[in-house]
Amino acid sequence: MARVASALFSRLVIIIPYAWLLFFFLIPFFIVFRISLSQTAVAMPPYTPVFDLFGGLSGVMEKAREFSFDNYVWLTEDALYFNAYVSSVIIAGISTILTLMIAYPIAYGMAKAPKSIRPTLLMLVILPFWTSFLIRVYAWIAILKPEGLLNQFLMSINVIDQPLIILNTNWAIYIGIVYSYLPFMVLPIYSSLEKMDHTLTEAALDLGCTPFSAFWRVTFPLSLAGVVAGCLLVFIPAVGEFVIPDLLGGSETLMIGKTLWNEFNANRDWPVSSAVATILLLILVIPIVFFQNAQAKADGEGR
Amino acid sequence: MKSLGSIRRSFAPWADPASKPFISVKNVTKKFGDFTAVDDLSLNIYTREFFALLGASGCGKSTLLRMLAGFEQPTSGEIILDGQSLAGIPPYRRPVNMMFQSYALFPHMTVETNIAFGLKQDGMPKADIAERVGQMLKLVKLEKFAKRKPHQLSGGQRQRVALARSLAKRPKVLLLDEPLGALDKKLREETQFELMDLQQELGLTFVVVTHDQEEAMTMADRIAVMSHGKVVQVATPAEIYEAPNSRFVADFIGDVNIFDGTVFAAENGYLRIETGNGFPIRMASPEKPAIGAKAAAAIRPEKIRVSRQPPAHAPINAVEGEIWDIGYLGDMTVFHVRLKDGRVVKASSLNAVRAVEDPFGYDQQVWISFGEDAGVVLKD
């Protein structure tokens, strides 16, 4: 009996995450995908066809014939969408690189810090999460605007005499993304650096490496799994980011999250916005698959 | 290997005042905050010597090794290598290499690239690197494993990769930190002899840190026994074992019986020590302490005989007791003999003849005895 129970239990343990994925990812995705194949309609919900069970099976089949890929064709015809995708990927890419350049030294410093103060440092990295994301982004408006804190400070110490125009440019978006996603980059890099055996660095020094070359030949390659994880954790949400470009970016900033929001709310075009979301998902699946491969490889090496 | 053995026997540069030490540690002290890890330590190591730093954990032996490697700087004092002071020279500019206790193999590199690491760093031409790596792989018998990653190797194989990597740059001195510590007993014994052969073959100077006295005794030309940051004795394994200069060394290396007493008489290079309860000891001693001074006789268990009858020289160097414990180890048997005053003496005898029946039984009354040259007199 106990064996049957434990076999059942181990099945159950596997079922839970799969059920989670099914209910909270696959089913919503299929709903979105299904809407993306529909047409707009002035109705509630605002698309056709809408299935009901009154027509029976033949009625459902009849209505299913109305599905088409017209919305996807539409996305290819209007350059707006293509430009928005490309611009999102570029902005997310630049932001990811900037985040990496700032986060790596932070994570390195944390991993090299005395063991007793590491929990405090970790806490400080996570601390911004305790305030609302929206409030923190709004705070950047106050800092970056022409008469904001940054410009006041720079002008008071006579570094500049004209205020810098940062707000409503891509620079403000980079700053916003780097600031908001920094912990997601710091934490995986820190965890990969922290568990690294420090005698490896000593071995590299012993074999003739200067501290600089020891870093590039040993420390950095060994932290690569953390770097890849951090980059994906920043890049993936940054591509679809809506709040930061909306609040900090300019009107000419094109990002797919904003486009999607416009289609959905301003145009009330659910099918097209669903098609935009589906394509976005496909764009993001590629780095996720890449990430999983890297992870599997890292696991293999860790054994 | 026989010819090498003869080289080894005649090798004693430390006894020759004309020979210059290759490594000279001069009054080196290393402090970590309030803790003194190495305390005003001086010693000389000669070219081609296999030198062991032996001591319990925390005695400063690893710190000394790390100072030789350049990972730590002495608080005071100086280390001279081949006539050149090492002060302020970083690890990557020292002609020494180290084999780490944890091996510290680079997990993201193959066996081959691990071994080539230092050569590549020095900018050696590719063809030369390949040739040297090939030699090294052959030396440690790992040709078949060149493309493997460290995690795909056994403990013994990893140890050999670490050795090959540290030898690849042909350092003047190889530092080994507990090189065999992570291996199981059988493999450790095999590897001890492999290391000795390798050192002879390459003609390098080896400095090995170990807490395992057997390992040090087997491999080293000379051993420095360390305690609390100081060197207690530097001598050949035989000298350390047969003529320990202190109670600490006598006790640290192997088993020993120490009989405390006072000097009763001194004549012709022999001391008579009274140890109480009618058990006088007569022992050879080059020194002549004052009558009445405290002294102790240290005698190794294998030099103590156990017999049913008292020897002719009784009661000098002989005393009666009863068998308290018997430990049969196969090659030898260890007896714990309890004297009348409660002291327990360890004696061991080689089982040279196949004896199915034990000559002695528990609680049996026996005599223990030893010769006048069987032990040493310790002053402290």
What is the pLDDT at residue B2? 39
What is the pLDDT at residue A44? 77
Segment among A142-151, B174-183, B262-271, B330-339 with least mean pLDDT: B262-271
Which chain B residue has its CA at the smallest distance from A200's CA? Answer: B104
Segment among A274-283, A291-300, B301-310, B314-323 with least mean pLDDT: A291-300
List the single best residue of B105, B108, B109 to mutate versus A (max A Cβ within 10 A): B108
Return residue ranges of chain B for CATH 3.40.50.300. 2-247
Which chain B residue has its CA at the smallest distance from A197's CA? Answer: B104
Q: Report yes or no: B223 and B217 within 8 Å, Cβ to Cβ.
A: yes
Please determine, for residue B155, whether its predicted confidence score (pLDDT) is greater than 80: yes
Please determine, for residue B152, whether its predicted confidence score (pLDDT) is greater than 90: yes
Please determine, for residue B187, whether its predicted confidence score (pLDDT) is greater than 80: yes
B90 to chain A, any CB pair closer than 8 A? The answer is yes
pLDDT digits (tens, 9 = 90+) for A64-100: 778 888 888 888 888 888 999 999 999 999 999 999 9
Partner-chain contact A199 B102, CB within 8 Å: yes
Partner-chain contact A206 B102, CB within 8 Å: no
Q: With cut-offs at 50, 70 and 90, classify the pLDDT of residue A254.
A: confident
Both structure tokens of B294: 């405290």
What is the pLDDT at residue A298? 64
What fold is seen in the domain B255-378? Answer: OB fold (Dihydrolipoamide Acetyltransferase, E2P) (2.40.50)
Partner-chain contact B104 A197, CB within 8 Å: yes
List the single best residue of B101, B103, B117 to mutate versus A (max A Cβ within 10 A): B117
End-to-end CA distance of chain B: 42
Return residue ranges of chain B for CATH 2.40.50.140. 255-378
What is the pLDDT at residue A300? 60
Calpha distance B164→B361 (Å, rounded): 52
In this prediction, residues A264-285 reach a mean pLDDT of 88
- Taking the mean position of all CA atoms in its chain, how far away is CA A23? 21
Measured between CA atoms, how close is B19 to chain A, in angstroms? 29
Q: With cut-offs at 50, 70 and 90, classify the pLDDT of residue B124.
A: very high
What is the pLDDT at residue A303? 43
| H helices present in chain B, as ranges | 2-10, 61-69, 111-121, 126-139, 155-167, 185-202, 213-219, 237-242, 247-252
Q: Which residues from chain A sit within 8 angstroms of residue B92, using beta carbons? A: 205-210
Domains of chain A (ranges; CATH) run 24-68 (no CATH), 78-302 (1.10.3720.10)
Mark residue B277 as left, alpha or beta (left: phi above 0; alpha: psi -120 to 50; beta: remaining): left
Partner-chain contact A205 B151, CB within 8 Å: no
Q: With cut-offs at 50, 70 and 90, classify the pLDDT of residue B29.
A: very high
Segment among A136-145, A294-303, B358-367 with least mean pLDDT: A294-303
Cβ atoms within 10 Å of B103's Cβ, excluding its own = 24
Q: With cut-offs at 50, 70 and 90, classify the pLDDT of residue A163.
A: confident
Handedness of CA B319, B323, B329, B333 (dihedral sign): positive
Pick the CATH number of B2-247 from 3.40.50.720, 3.30.559.10, 3.40.50.10490, 3.40.50.300: 3.40.50.300
Please determine, for residue B3, whether its predicted confidence score (pLDDT) is greater than 60: no
Q: Which of A213-217, A281-285, B271-275 has the highest mean pLDDT?
A: A213-217
Q: What is the pTM of this model?
A: 0.81
What is the pLDDT at residue A192? 94
Please report, rounded to a whole number, the percentage of residues in chain A having pLDDT higher than 70.
Answer: 96
Cβ atoms within 10 Å of B6's Cβ, excluding its own = 9
Could you give the angle at the alpha carbon of B79 between the alpha carbons of B78 and B85, nearest 5°?
A: 90
Please determine, for residue A291, whether its predicted confidence score (pLDDT) is greater than 80: no
pLDDT digits (tens, 9 = 90+) for B194-215: 889 889 888 899 999 999 998 9
Count the alpha carbons within 13 Å of A144 in the hemisphere toward its beta carbon. 22
What is the pLDDT at residue B9? 54
Partner-chain contact B117 A207, CB within 8 Å: yes
A294 to chain B, any CB pair closer than 8 A? The answer is no
Please determine, for residue A289, whether its predicted confidence score (pLDDT) is greater than 60: yes
What pairs with residue B227 in β-bridges? B230
Going across the sheet that includes B230-235, the strands are B96-99, B173-177, B205-210, B50-54, B222-227, B230-235
Q: With cut-offs at 50, 70 and 90, classify the pLDDT of residue A299.
A: low
B102 to chain A, any CB pair closer than 8 A? The answer is yes
Compute the mean pLDDT over every residue in chain A, rounded to the nearest whole number: 88
Calpha distance A143→A157 (Å, rounded): 16
Please determine, for residue B1, whether its predicted confidence score (pLDDT) is greater than 60: no
What is the pLDDT at residue B268? 80
The answer for B 226-255 residues in CB contact with A (under 8 A) is: none
Please determine, for residue B191, whether its predicted confidence score (pLDDT) is greater than 90: no
Please determine, for residue B373, whether its predicted confidence score (pLDDT) is greater than 70: yes
* DSSP, res B269: T
What is the pLDDT at residue A302? 47
A195 to chain B, any CB pair closer than 8 A? The answer is no
Calpha distance B42→B29 (Å, rounded): 9
Q: Which of A71, A65, A176 is nearest to A128 (CA)?
A: A176
- φ, ψ at B43 (rounded to 5°): -160, 160
Q: With cut-offs at 50, 70 and 90, classify the pLDDT of residue B5.
A: very low
* B71, B107, B166 member nearest A222 (Cβ): B107
pLDDT digits (tens, 9 = 90+) for B80-102: 999 999 999 999 999 999 999 99
Q: With cut-offs at 50, 70 and 90, classify the pLDDT of residue B357.
A: low
What is the pLDDT at residue B355? 67
Q: CB-based burial of residue A292 (10 Å sphere; 0-12 exposed, 13-18 middle, 19+ buried)?
A: exposed
Compute the mean pLDDT over every residue in chain B, rounded to the nearest whole number: 89
What is the pLDDT at residue B45? 95
* B69, B71, B106 member nearest A200 (Cβ): B106
Q: With cut-offs at 50, 70 and 90, classify the pLDDT of residue A50.
A: confident
Which chain B residue has its CA at the smallest distance from A220's CA? Answer: B108
Cβ atoms within 10 Å of A163's Cβ, excluding its own = 16
